[in-house]
Chains A and B, each alone.
Chain A
Amino acid sequence: MWKWIQAFASPQNFYRISEKLIPWFLYPFIVLTLVGLYWSLSASPADYQQGDSVRIMYVHVPAAWMSLLIYVVMAIAGAIGLIWQIKLANVVASVSAPIGAAFTFLALVTGAVWGKPMWGTWWVWDARLTSELILLFLYLAYMSLNNAFDNPKTATKASSVLAIVGLVNIPIIYYSVEWWNSLHQGSSVSVTKVSMQIDMFIALMLMSFAFKFLYGALVLMRGRDEVLVREQNSRWVKEIITGGQR
């Protein structure tokens, strides 16, 4: 079993399989985005208080969810890389960081654009906004740490430790609106309740799944490049470059 997992997660095997997997993420992403945008901008109603500004939510909320999800993936992959020393886990962690940072940035910017007309301010230092900003800094710190060492093994170790320690911020972001008084509203969608009209919820779900497929496609595409760079001295990579000739 153990040997099998290690063989399956080998960089070479990943390179071979990922090529076939990419379309299974890319095309659902494109379809879901087109349908999702139609539902967000046209099929769903305006809000009784916010008017059409509610449509910002269909990008803001999925982006914010992705910022949390990708961080969790990154930290777990980092832990797997540390403990079981599976090379592929380290690849997944390091290619996820810039994608996660981009989603975090998108969530912060769309939030600010919504906040100005609705709250009357671009930014406040309440618990939700501050902890999400800290998440962006965690991603940036992870990326800098990953590039700060000449020895790639030291870099991976240091950045994985940071990712695992930073994991503590995730429940803080999620529960910040319940634990403390904040300007940011509570969650509209949870496992137990949805306080949102059904067409709005459909638009939100379509965009949310579109983002998830986008993340999958990006990890595979960036992962392939990263694997080639990391394994550049191995025989199978040289064979790909030379077209099998020696």
Chain B
Amino acid sequence: MTKRQNRMVLVGLLIAGAILAVTLLLQALGSNTNYFYSPTEVAEGKAPTGKSFRLGGLVANGSVKRKDMTVNFDVTDNKNKFSIEYTGILPDLFREGQGIITTGSLVNGTFIATEVLAKHDENYMPPEVADALEKTKQSKQ
């Protein structure tokens, strides 16, 4: 082998080693790299419900009830849902049907939230287009 081929093999080994190390690391971390758990994952007992954790899903339509600074609503992934209770200021994007991520813990079946973050999806469009989409959706139903 020439010196150049030698160096080529070394660089190849370097890349392979780095990929292997990171793959093992991510395997070991497992679900800890997930920022939040879905309602179904919580229902299946995959979330650490003994302590504070993050729950993510859609705000169920017609579930938002406000009383003073306290808001009650349901978070759903269309399979399972949890009731949330939160006192504080909600982000601008919070509305029914919106994806949110909330931090808190389960107390007697109700998720007492300490923080609510709105999740934005990858769809970008002007209001007129959003209205038109909404209308076609309603006419189909």
| Chain A residues with a Cβ under 8 A of chain B | 45-50, 54, 57, 79, 82-84, 117-121, 124-127, 161, 164-169, 172, 179-183, 185-188, 195-197, 200
8 Å CB contact of A47 from B22, B101, B126 = B126
Q: Is residue B11 within 8 Å, beta carbon to beta carbon, of the partner chain?
A: yes
Binding site for A on B (CB under 8 A): 4, 7-8, 11, 14-15, 17-19, 22, 26, 33-38, 56, 90-93, 101, 115-131
Asked if A120 and B91 sit within 8 Å, CB to CB, the answer is yes
- Given known A-B contacts A82-B7, A172-B22, A200-B124, A180 and B119 have beta carbons under 8 A apart: no
Min C-beta distance of B17 to chain A, whole Å: 8
CA distance A125 to B36 in the complex (A): 11
Q: Is the interface of B mostly helix, strand, loop or mixed?
A: mixed
Identify which of A48, A124, A179, A187 gathers the most chain B CB atoms within 10 Å of its CB: A48
18 additional contacts (CB under 8 A) given A49-B130, A119-B118, A120-B90 = A45-B127, A47-B125, A47-B126, A48-B127, A49-B93, A49-B120, A83-B4, A117-B91, A118-B93, A120-B116, A165-B18, A166-B18, A169-B22, A172-B26, A180-B34, A183-B35, A183-B101, A195-B124
Whether A181 pairs with B56 at a CB distance below 8 angstroms is yes
**Nearest chain B CB to A115 CB, angstrom units:** 9
| A164–B117 CB distance below 8 A | no
Select which of B22, B92, B116, B122 is within 8 A of A118 by beta carbon.
Answer: B92
Nearest first, the 6 A-B pairs at minimum CB distance are A120-B91, A45-B126, A48-B130, A126-B35, A188-B122, A48-B127
CB-CB under 8 A from A47, the residues of chain B are 124-126
For the complex, what is the distance from the CA of A124 to the CA of B103, rounded to whole Å? 12
Indicate which residue in B11, B120, B125 contacts A82 across the interface (CB closer than 8 Å). B11
Bound Cα distance from A68 to B122, whole angstroms: 19
